Structure 1
Amino acid sequence: MNKKMLGLSVFATLSVGVLAACGGEAETSEGNPSEEEGVSGTIEFGVTPWTSTVPPTEVAGLILEEMGYEVEQTQADAGAVYTGLSRGDLDVYMDGWFPMHDNYLDEFGDSLDETAVSYTDAETGWTVPTYVEEINHLDDIKGNEDLFDGQMFGIEEGATATENTRTLIEEEELDIEQVVSSEGGMLSEAARKIPNEEPIVFFGWRPHTMFNNYDLKVLEGQEEYHEPSDVKVITNGDLAEEKPEAYAFLSNWSMSIDDIEAMIVEIEEEGRDEREVAQDWIDDNQDIVGDWLNQ
């Protein structure tokens, strides 16, 4: 499985050329497993920079390789991933958060396919450690912004969660600044403050190791801006016709929050190889895999 990283500005111009080159190699390589097993072509995954994207992408990728496909990964932010899917440069995204990502469905319409629901009721939103006892509801933030030094720590620019947080701050008239960084940058702040029981508010979600590492609570009263999500497998609109075996497998997909979170812990906290963790999950869940493959 090959991995590439493409920024938003170069994504559209480079993806087609890269994929065409990959396709040429698949056609000319001797002993190509996809040729031998009767399933041809490359499945290109879009991978966002969130830990929740990794386990389902790796598990699905290993199964598709076993089916005979070549598998590639392109790393990009969510906007670039959905753009790539809409143009056919990417085939699959395993980590679509809805309704948070509804704007992409509105923008790209029939060029995207909501193929399967991976899991439901994934918590998202402004999060604080449980030792910040006086803050339990979004309304508790107003008038107490100084408790957090006037800062709320968020993820990357361009993420829907980042835009929703901007709207929240404006409409709720909070005297607080969103510090836009990345998942890693945000968690570095949490790791610096929480051991000393310093107040901090940041964007949290499950599945994630943050809820394994710290005692946290998602604030009540923010459902208008951040609400529990259904996480879906999104494919481009042509996959069902062009690669029906792959589409049939992905349309049966589901995976629990607990299983994804357990794999994230193994990868992020224990330092295990992503593919090895995914293969162990496959080996331990042959009944589920069999259902996905209608076996």
Structure 2
Amino acid sequence: MKKILFTTILLLTLIVGCSQGEDSSANEEGNGKTITFGVTPWTSTVPPTEVASLILQDMGYNVEQTQADAGSTYIGLSRGDIDVFMDAWLPVHETYLDKYGDSIVDTAVSYPEADAGWVVPTYMEDINSIADIKGKEDLFDNEMYGIEDGASVTAIIDDLIEGYELDIKQVNSSEGGMIAQAMRKMENEEPVVFYGWRPHTMFNKFDIKIIEEDQGYFETASVHVITNSELKENAPDAYEFLSNWSIPIDDVEDMIVQIDEEDMEPEEVAQNWIDNNQDKVDEMLGK
């Protein structure tokens, strides 16, 4: 009798254990795998990264973020150390796609028509194009302010300066440092020229304008999602979600304002966007 009772208990234990294992697997699409995002020091990178991270966590994935400049992010993608980059600017970043094309994948368009270029305050009424700066470089102390050296746009700006034969030097720093320097000039309505792009709070905070550039150094950009080439095989459902990714540029800009100007936590801002755009999220998830 004791032998029969022990056998029955053992069978029930095995059945319950198997059932729990099946339920756990069914509820965890990601099965605890880790997906690593590359995060550049640009405000535009944060909202899409946070939104995608929360959705992937709901799918059962662990998520990590690696802070790096653009060049290092693409190296990480090519090596498999980074799985996803949500803020690739094309055609500016095409040099990276060409260099690492065998190991990275242009996966989705996040949003199109993201303008970028040289920016001046609107009180500089006579400066409406880069050609207008020629011969007036001393107004700007022969300097224009750019972002970090690792960004591919840095080389484009240097080429532009040479192409327009401007007597001006690009001064590089972080995004925050560039804007702080521009703010100091604008507070006194002094001449200043710096690099700007949408989406960014600078266009909400300051009266500025992107000036015309007619030699083709800057084009209207589209922002893409880039993944390493192994993600599709290693995490097919995550790759499928990311391949369906898109988000309005106005929404990204609104989230940047909430994070930078209203001091809201990025995760809270991202969760609010998910809650208010569940139909969009379901579409990206293929539901």
Tell me by how many angstroms 1:64 deviates: 0.2
Query: Any idea what the Cα deviations from partners look like across 1:75-102, whole Å, max 9, x if unmatched?
Result: 0000111111111111000000000000
Aligned to 1:272: 264
Equivalent residue number for residue 15 of structure 1: none
Question: Which deviates the most, 188-197 or 216-225?
Answer: 216-225
Counterpart CA distance in 2 for 1:222 and 1:270 is: 37
1:266 corresponds to which letter in structure 2?
A: Q
Larger radius of gyration: 2
Any conservation in 2 of the 1:79–1:159 contact (CA below 8 Å)?
A: yes
**Matched residues in 2 for 1:207 and 1:226: separation?**
16
Distance 1:169 1:228 in 2: 19
Moved over 2 A (4+): 33-36
Tell me if structure 1 keeps the 8 A contact 2:29–2:59.
no
Q: Which moved more, 1:280-289 or 1:215-224?
A: 215-224
Work out which of the residue numbers 244, 247, 260 in structure 2 matches 1:252: 244
User: Which letter does structure 2 place at the counterpart of 1:144?
Assistant: K
Deviations 1:112-151 (A, max 9, x none): 1111001111011111011100100110010010111111
Instruction: Give the superposition deviation at 1:222.
Output: 4.6
Distance 2:187 2:215 in 1: 29
Match of 1:146 in 2: 138
CA distance in 2, matches of 1:55, 1:68: 20
Matched, 1:202 2:189: no
Structure 1 residue aligned with 2:36: 44
Q: Distance in 2 between matches of 1:50 and 1:194?
A: 21
* Corresponding residue number in structure 2 for 1:289: 281
Q: Which amino acid aligns with 2:88?
A: G
* Counterpart AA for 1:118: S
Superposed CA RMSD in Å reads 1.3
Tell me the TM-score normalised to structure 2 length. Answer: 0.89
Distance 2:177 2:25 in 1: 40
Which residue does 2:218 correspond to in 1?
226
Match of 1:216 among 203, 208, 225: 208
Contact 1:86–1:111, Cα closer than 8 Å, also in 2: yes
Match of 1:81 among 70, 73, 77: 73
How much does 1:193 deviate?
Answer: 1.5
The letter of the residue matching 1:37 is: E
Query: Which residue in the other structure is 1:125 paired with?
Result: 117
TM-aligned CA deviation for residue 223 of structure 1: 5.3
1:195 Cα offset (Å): 2.2
- Which ranges of structure 1 fall in alignment gaps of 5 or more residues? 1-32
> Aligned AA for 1:126?
W
Contact 2:130 2:212 in 1 (8 A): yes
Q: Do residues 262 (structure 1) and 278 (structure 2) align?
A: no
Asked if structure 1 preserves the Cα contact closer than 8 Å seen for 2:242 and 2:284, the reply is: yes
* CA distance 1:250–1:223, change in 2 (3 Å): farther
| 3-state SS, counterpart of residue 73 of structure 1 | strand
- Contact 2:40/2:67 (CA < 8 Å) preserved in 1? yes
Per the TM alignment, residue 199 of structure 1 is displaced from its structure 2 partner at its CA by 1.1
Q: Determine the C-alpha separation between the residues in 2 that align with 1:281 and 1:56.
A: 10
Query: Matches of 1:103 and 1:84 in 2, distance apart?
Result: 15
**Alignment correspondent of 1:8:** none
Q: Which residue of 2 aligns with 1:190?
A: 182
Residues 87 and 225, structure 2, Cα contact 8 Å, conserved in 1: yes
Determine if the alignment matches structure 1 residue 159 to structure 2 residue 151: yes
Change (3 A) 1:115 1:215: same
Over 3 Å counting, the alpha-carbon distance change for 1:34 and 1:94 in structure 2 is farther
Pairing 1:176–2:173 present: no
One-letter code aligned to 1:53? T
- How far is 1:39 from its partner? 2.2
Distance apart, 1:225 and its partner CA: 1.4
Distance 1:150 1:54, change over 3 A: same
Verify the 8 A CA contact 2:29 2:61 in the aligned structure 1.
no
2:207 aligned partner, one-letter code: D
Count residues with an aligned counterpart: 263
The sequence identity of aligned pairs, in percent, is: 62
Q: Distance in 2 between matches of 1:183 and 1:277?
A: 21
TM-score relative to the length of structure 1: 0.87
Q: Give the superposition deviation at 1:158.
A: 1.7
Say whether residues 1:68 and 2:55 are aligned partners: no
